[in-house]
Amino acid sequence: MGFKIGLLGLGTVGTGTAKILLDPVQRHPLVKELELYRVGVKSLEKPRSLELPPEIVTTDLEAIVTDPAVDIVVEVIGGLEPARSLILKAIEHGKHVVTANKAAIARFGDEIFTAATKAGVYVLLEAAVGGGIPVIEPLKQSLCSNRINAVMGIVNGTTNYILTRMQNEGADFADVLADAQRLGYAEADPTADVDGLDAADKIAILASLAFGGRIKLSEVHCEGIRQISAADIAYAEKLGFVIKLIAIAKRDSQLSSELEQLQVRVHPTLVPKTHPLASVNDVYNAILIEGDPIGQVMFFGPGAGAGPTASAVVSDMLNIAAILKVERGNSKQANGTPLLDPLLACSHQHYCAIAPIAELSTRFYARFLTKDTPGVIGKLGTCFGNHEVSLESVVQTDVRGDVAEIVVVTHDVREGNFRQALAEIQAMDAIASIPSTLRAL
Ligand code: HSE
């Protein structure tokens, strides 16, 4: 018996989500048990990239959230209404909810989680912050032994793309924004992104999880990037900084623990070039978490897009399905063995086939000490060529006495071929030694 999914929304994220459910091969075995049971859309007429059985698609979203057969409602329509009402109605009808909706959670989280606790259902939201980057579940689970002291990050891809281009091109904000809109990297109405509001929603959610309390969005200080000029970026660069839109939530360490307050803010920030967040460029997101005793951990990846966001949505669905499976299974296990959570327990018995290292295809670096005589580089090249090892670069780096140092980097080659060529090269009169060979990415 599988788990019936009611998917609300078939836009970018909804389509990405449906695609994963319809193509479970080589994913966790539990994916096969997620049944795309109903899909709620605004219009049946709209042309879509994904063909679904017509009987599962409906414009009656309310019928999905109240359908007794539905186990998990997945809200990926975005926006505040009707998303909020549909989530609340689903909860009221005993459905677990998965949502990617940071705006609704940041504003109505209080109402939604109070209702969920009362109804005994889960509301999971990994996709709401950082797209495909796992950060909510690590905060809730993997890092839960830590006292979290700070969460900071680049959580808006649009502004990071604009600032990266301003940095690289020396261009002004308005010009890059216009181009980003033309290329589809920025929305026609860019307000939520460029004024920092989207990042504020996300840091409010992260702060709530990191510090274990509700956060009023109105108390999150928020500045966007409209006022950043090419001149600011150039001066920052000279001083050893890059300018990033950083969302920060941290404990205010000036205060004693009884009076402890948080700082929760979003603003353009000069980031030292050596800081881990400085090299997060383009549309990428990254979240740096400081915990005691773990220290700093950084989560980096694609913060938006169909595939990454759907990855997070389906993972939340699997977390809920695993819990439901244990609940259902334990009342039925005939052999008396307790059923374990399929995501936490080992779910396989077979051995995977591992390719022999000789079959590896990779780039190599090799350093040779040779006689400084004519034709050595030619001999190396010929020998590699005979073994189908193509060279990307060859440099003679040094000559000491009559010994020359030659370094080669190959293209991707079969390891077995590279080793055979090396064995032949090693035996050449002109070769004194091969002090090192390393694989390169
Ligand atoms: N508009 C967001 C961004 C993506 O630019 O990062 C969705 O959260």
Could you report the per-residue pLDDT of 354-384, keeping only the tens digit for each? 999 999 999 999 999 999 889 999 999 999 9
Query: What is the per-residue pLDDT for 259?
Result: 67
Residue 401 gets the label, from left (phi > 0), alpha (psi -120 to 50) or beta, of left
Number of Cβ within 10 Å of residue 118's Cβ equals: 10
CA distance 266 to 224: 8
The finding on whether 309 has its CB within 6 A of some atom of ligand 1 is no
**Is the minimum distance from the CB of 160 to ligand 1 under 6 angstroms?**
no
The whole-angstrom separation of Cα 340 and Cα 349 is 15
Q: Is 198 in the pocket of ligand 1 (CB under 6 A)?
A: yes
* Ligand 1: centre distance to CA 351 (Å): 40
Confidence of residue 400 (pLDDT cuts 50, 70, 90): confident
- 10 to each of 16, 38, 400, how far by Cα in Å? 8, 11, 67
What sign for the dihedral angle of Cα 20, 25, 31, 33?
positive
Mutational test site, ligand 1, from 99, 101, 133, 158, max ligand atoms within 8 Å of CB: 158
Query: Which atom of ligand 1 sits closest to the CA of residue 129?
Result: 8
- CB-ligand 1 contact for 157 (6 Å cutoff): yes
Express each pLDDT in 151-200 by its tens digit: 999 999 999 999 999 999 999 999 999 999 999 999 999 999 999 999 99
Pocket test for ligand 1, best of 126, 177, 181, 193 (most atoms within 8 A of CB): 193
303 lines ligand 1 (CB under 6 A): yes
* Cα–Cα distance for residue pair 139/154, rounded to 1 Å: 17
**Residue recorded with tokens 């589809």:** 184
**Mean residue pLDDT across the chain:** 95
Residue 298 burial by CB count (10 A; 0-12/13-18/19+): exposed, middle or buried?
A: middle
Residue 254's pLDDT band, with cuts at 50, 70 and 90, is low
> Which atom of ligand 1 lies closest to the CA of 285?
6
The answer to whether residue 105 scores a pLDDT higher than 80 is yes
Among the atoms of ligand 1, which is closest to the Cα of residue 186? 5
pLDDT band at 429 (very low <50, low <70, confident <90, very high): very high
Task: Compute the distance from residue 209 Cα to the ligand 1 centre, in Å.
Answer: 20
Give, for ligand 1, the residue of 102, 133, 156 to mutate: max count of ligand atoms closer than 8 Å to Cβ.
156
Q: Distance from the CA of 195 to the center of ligand 1, in angstroms?
A: 12
Number of the ligand 1 atom closest to the C-alpha atom of 131 = 8
**Does the CB atom of residue 86 touch ligand 1 within 6 A?**
no
Q: Using 50, 70 and 90 to split pLDDT, how confident is the model at 258?
A: low
What is the pTM assigned to this prediction? Answer: 0.92
Note the pLDDT of residue 104.
Answer: 98
Instruction: Output the CA 186–ligand 1 centroid distance in Å.
Output: 9
Query: How many CB atoms lie under 10 A from the CB of residue 197?
Result: 19
User: Tokens for 417?
Assistant: 């071929």
Helix runs in 195-266, H state only: 197-211, 230-238
Domains and CATH numbers, the chain: 3-132+306-327 (3.40.50.720), 136-301 (3.30.360.10), 360-440 (3.30.70.260)
* Residue 79 pLDDT level (bands cut at 50, 70, 90): very high
Residue nearest to atom 7 of ligand 1 (CA): 304
List residues with catalytic annotation.
Answer: 202
Tens digit of pLDDT for each residue in 328-337?
986 666 677 8
**201 close to ligand 1 (CB < 6 Angstrom):** no
pLDDT tens string 217-241? 999 999 999 999 999 999 999 999 9
